[in-house]
DNA sequence: TTTGCATACCTTTCAGTTCAAGGTATATAC
DNA sequence: GTATATACCTTGAACTGAAAGGTATGCAAA
């Protein structure tokens, strides 16, 4: 046997994190989320609708988001807002992300405590 | 048609980045890389051999790493060291990672320049 | 002495994600 | 009437990492 224990897909959940965070700040609909990520990250992160919509549905299914329908200018929008469960989830994802980036940063900067092998 | 243009698998390349960085600092063999990542990140990142070895082979195939074989205590090790091509690759991955985390951080902290929608 | 564990290499299979591309429909501008 | 932007959606391929397996050596304990 090889690997003793690893982490389940350690780099995942970032789209989920971004979506939850944006909606936590302010009720949003799917198409709006796609644009918001593009704009706020200045094109550094480009997540298409094929990513956003399925995540939105999954989050609602899990009770992290709830939705309401509204038609504006003849266009049907589905507004999502965060639930207490979603807040918890967002909090988990955020701290996990911090932990990960800190760990990676340590390796990238590296060399301080190491060498002693 | 939906998505105009997205980024090719935006969260990838982190194992590659870590491996290149470690080997850039100091010649290393595969098994050692696995342990180094585990130790230096204090278990925050656990990448098994099933991840490390294929990446090592791919990097060597691409000319980013070169290897030499050596037997120590009856155990056959394959030491990898970085090439100029690997340095370039490491540099790219590092700046790309910085760009990404900065973008994500902006969304997480959020709310400073936004609101104006 | 044989069992187990750590070292050290490797591969294959499965599951989960993302990307790309498509589809539907309405409103507005040209 | 054609194109573009808005707004929703799904499917398929491709890629990745996780899990689990396999081989082999050296050493320590039972």
In the numeric block, the tokens 């979603």 are attached to A86
Domains assigned to chain A: 14-109 (1.10.10.10)
Question: Helix, strand or coil for residue A93?
Answer: helix
Summarize pLDDT for A44-100 with one digit per residue, the tens.
999 999 999 999 999 999 999 999 999 999 999 999 999 999 999 999 999 999 999
Is residue A72's beta carbon less than 7 angstroms from any atom in nucleic acid strand D?
yes
The 3-state secondary structure of A31-87 reads: HHHHHHHHHHCCCCCCCCHHHHHHHHHHHHHCCCEEEEEEEECCEEEEEEEECHHHH
d(CA A66, CA A85): 10
- From the CA of A2, how many Å to the C1' of C21? 39
Cross-strand bridge partners of residue B77: B70
- From the CA of A109, how many Å to the C1' of C23? 48
Is residue A9's beta carbon less than 7 angstroms from any atom in nucleic acid strand D?
yes
What ipTM, to 2 d.p.? 0.87
- In chain B the first and final C-alpha atoms are separated, in Å, by 26
CB contact under 8 A, B107 and A37: yes
């Amino acid at each position: 046997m090889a690997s003793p224990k690893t982490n389940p897909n350690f780099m995942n959940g970032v789209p989920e994190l971004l979506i939850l965070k944006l909606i936590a700040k302010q009720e949003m609909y799917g198409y709006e989320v796609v644009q918001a990520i593009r704009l706020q990250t200045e094109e550094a992160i480009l997540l298409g609708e094929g990513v956003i919509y399925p995540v939105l549905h999954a989050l609602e299914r899990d009770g992290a988001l709830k939705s309401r329908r509204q038609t504006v200018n003849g266009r049907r929008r589905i507004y999502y807002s965060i639930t207490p469960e979603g807040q918890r989830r967002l909090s988990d994802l955020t701290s996990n992300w911090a932990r990960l980036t800190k760990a990676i940063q340590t390796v990238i900067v590296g060399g301080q405590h190491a060498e002693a092998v």
